[in-house]
Amino acid sequence: MLHPLSPQVVYAAPGGAPVAVLPVTELGSPTWVPVVQSAPGWDRILLPTRPDRSTGWVYLSKGLQTAWTAYRVEISLASYRLTVTDDGRSLGTWTVAIGAAGTPTPAGRTFILASVSPVHPTYSPLILPLGTHSDTLDTFGGGPGTVGVHGWPDPLVFGHAVSNGCVRVPAAALRVLSRVPLGSAVVIISGS
């Protein structure tokens, strides 16, 4: 994964047309994005933009910091389960709540985009926006319909499809997730 130390131009292909700019921060957190492919002098990255799972290429320059993480978050929509692993070792599995039928949690490959600790938390002390967006909501809460993972005070929601697309998790899961580095892979699967 990589982090821009200064805004970086994102290209459609190595040496191709510019298509975006990768900012230094996203939602108040340092921007870390997964590398999905490498070529000499270039990395292809997963972007936190619509359409979901969009990619682009960045030129490998001194303006980038790189890191590696073995953390992985897997969410099974069919079984309402979230599992966190570190280098293949399970750190826990929890029953969660997912998006309701009209606002489903989108399946696919994404990543932890940011870590937000609300000044006056109402339902969760920590919100982890993902690099994916609702398929049914163009905006939500003043933002672009970003899907996130966050806590929820009522345990009766776990095991049900009740949210606006976010994944609601128990407090124990949120504690483990709070230690997962930004940019870590999140895979949301529709099957069990």
Last residue of a domain, one of 26, 47, 66: 66
Last residue of a domain, one of 66, 92, 121: 66
Asked if 122 and 149 sit in the same domain, the reply is yes
**pLDDT tens readout for residues 152-170:** 999 999 999 999 999 999 9
Question: Which residue from 131, 170, 133 is spatially nearest to 152, judged by alpha carbons?
Answer: 170
- pTM metric for this prediction: 0.94
Range of the domain at 139: 71-189
**pLDDT tens readout for residues 21-70:** 999 999 999 999 999 999 999 999 999 999 999 999 999 988 999 999 99
Question: How many CA atoms lie within 13 Å of 96's alpha carbon, on the beta-carbon side?
Answer: 32
Q: Which run of H or of E encompasses 174?
A: helix 171-177
pLDDT category, 139, cuts 50, 70, 90? Answer: confident
Asked if 157 and 103 sit in the same domain, the reply is yes
Q: Does residue 75 register a pLDDT over 80?
A: yes
Asked if 139 and 161 sit in the same domain, the reply is yes
* Residues 145, 134 contacting (CB under 8 angstroms): yes
